[in-house]
């Protein structure tokens, strides 16, 4: 179950790999911020700055699902999906 409002997605359960894949599709992309349970914030302003590994979680349930967010300097940050507390959507740049 997820809680929605106009500007963010509050996550009350584990975000799935498929949900993240839908959010980061280039054709429907909208900038967003990942907020983790520890309060860390990761901005994703373009679909080139985010990725999912090519290994589906069904292959091996012991492999934690994660996403990769790249900083503006190209430094990768690995974020386990279980740590995502909130996804804040931003208006697309004009």
Q: Is 62 within the bounds of a domain?
A: yes
Higher pLDDT, 76 or 57: 76
**pLDDT of the residue at 49:** 95
Model confidence band, residue 41 (pLDDT cutoffs 50, 70, 90): very high
Confidence (pTM): 0.76
Q: Is 94 within the bounds of a domain?
A: no
Segments forming the whole domain that contains residue 15 = 2-89
CA 69 – CA 28 distance, rounded (Å): 18
Residues 6+ apart with CB under 8 A from 44: 24, 31, 32, 33, 34, 50, 69
Number of structural domains in the chain: 1
Higher pLDDT, 28 or 59: 28
The overall average pLDDT reported for the chain is: 81
Q: Is 6 within the bounds of a domain?
A: yes
């Amino acid at each position: 179950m997820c809680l929605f409002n106009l500007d963010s997605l509050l996550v009350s359960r584990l975000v799935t790999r498929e949900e993240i894949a839908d959010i980061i599709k280039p054709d429907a992309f909208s900038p967003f911020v990942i907020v983790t349970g520890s309060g860390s914030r990761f901005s994703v302003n373009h679909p080139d700055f985010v990725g999912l590994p090519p290994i589906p979680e069904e292959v091996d349930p012991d492999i934690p699902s994660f996403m990769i967010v790249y900083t503006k300097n190209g430094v990768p940050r690995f974020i386990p999906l279980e740590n995502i507390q909130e996804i804040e959507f931003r208006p697309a740049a004009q």
